[in-house]
Copies of this chain bind each other. A is one copy, B any other.
Amino acid sequence: MKAEIISIGSEILRGQITDTNANFIAKKLVELGIDLEHISAVGDNPKSLLSTLKLALQRSDLIITTGGLGPTEDDITYQTIARALNLKLIKYPEAEENLKRILKKINKTISPSNLKQVYLPEGAKIIVNQYGTAPAMILEKDNKIICSFPGVPHEMKNLIEKNLIPYLKKKFPPSTIKKSKTLKITGLGESSVNELIREYINKQTNFSFGIYANPEDIQVQVTTQAPTEKEVEKLLQSSVNQLTKILGNYVYGTDKQSLEEVVGNLLKTKKLKVAVAESCTGGMLGKMITRIPGSSEYFQGGVISYNAKVKEDLLKVPPKVIKKYGEVSNQTAILMAEGVRRCCHSDIGISVTGIAGPGGATEKKKVGLVYMALADGKKTITQKHQLFGSRQLIRLRSTRRALNLLRNYLISN
């Protein structure tokens, strides 16, 4: 079976929006094991849409459209589908009822242009849209399936999840179930990950692998298939275990786990509290830790010591240390971490000080030079990094390294 997506809306062709709907639907089709062969975007133009639909009916078995279901003149999806298939438009009472309900909620009465929205091609199985006025549909004709969904992303996503996916699963029960699991890695570059796991990957025949590099981390995706959900899970887990054995502590989590969540869970388990002293990251480390709901259980707070005077007064870094070694130095990082641990009454203090650029570099200290330290009252661990990229990337990478320093400390202590 061949599938095709048609995104309808002149705003896509005018560059006003990026077609993210197609990406959402593409992912869903992969999960169902359905081959997507084409994605097309067309404007609110009856002629273009008609020819695109006719072509799709020739080359594809399953056609999913999004957009063009609104109340205005421009919204022509149902009329054009009816024309392409030689069908009449008929009134669907369920759609009218829903329309009235929605309009009442926002204190509006039904207008002639709204009424247009209750007409769908004859034979369509209507999907009432509880989130908006535009009904969706699934239409089977001559061994082809055409489905239409609104263009508003949250409406489209909800209606597809709740209606199209169960329909397709029932209609085309997948002979094998295909699933992926993602390992999330930090502290190693893409090519190092590749080198470490290449030998293992090359030996596998049941799995396919993808390595993806993000500004935040490296991800290794393992995909496999089997007749049952249980078997797939078992296979995936065995590969994940092997990969984790090879990559060790560089793996911080899987799938949707974030580094800050993993660190938060470790802090909770160990009943430890942390505080941050930030220079070049300017608050980004604190912001990332507090993204997690309930982080107040283990995050005390911190000091954004952008100016030397703040390092001296709040963190008690002696002016002579700053004068001798500079604000961006191992010595300053150590005293910042120890200082913030004390003044914020935490078990652990972490500090970051560096040159995010583009200004601030000297002959000996280049843009991207970052020192970080972790103090626990007994010892203080330090790290020095030379990072690359834009100001934002250097700040982001510094923050991730600091979180990873904390993660490694928590794992091994």
Residues of A within 8 A of B (CB): 12-20, 22-30, 36-43, 45, 48, 51-52, 55, 59, 210, 275-276, 278, 280-287, 289-291, 293-296, 299-307, 309-310, 313-314, 343-345, 357-360, 391-392, 395
Contacts and interface: CB of A to CB of B under 8 A. Distances in A.
Interface SS of A by simple majority? mixed
B344 A307 contact: yes
A283 B278 contact: yes
Copies in the complex: 2
Contacts of A395: 287, 290-291
Kindly list the 9 A-B residue pairs having the minimum CB-CB distance in the complex, ordered from nearest. Answer: A282-B290, A283-B286, A283-B283, A15-B27, A15-B26, A301-B306, A39-B41, A301-B310, A283-B287
Contact of A38 (B48, B283, B286, B343): B48
B14 A26 contact: yes
5 contacts: A13-B38, A55-B55, A283-B284, A300-B309, A302-B303
A343 B314 CA distance: 7
A307 B286 CA distance: 12
Contacts of A284: 283, 287
Given A37-B42, A37-B48, A283-B287, A306 B314 contact: no
A283 B294 contact: no
Contact of A23 (B18, B48, B282): B18
Contact of A12 (B39, B296, B301): B39
Nearest to A55: B55
Given A13-B36, A313-B345, A301 B304 contact: yes
Given A22-B41, A296-B306, 14 more contacts: A15-B28, A18-B18, A276-B283, A282-B283, A283-B290, A284-B287, A286-B304, A290-B306, A291-B391, A294-B359, A296-B307, A301-B306, A310-B344, A313-B345
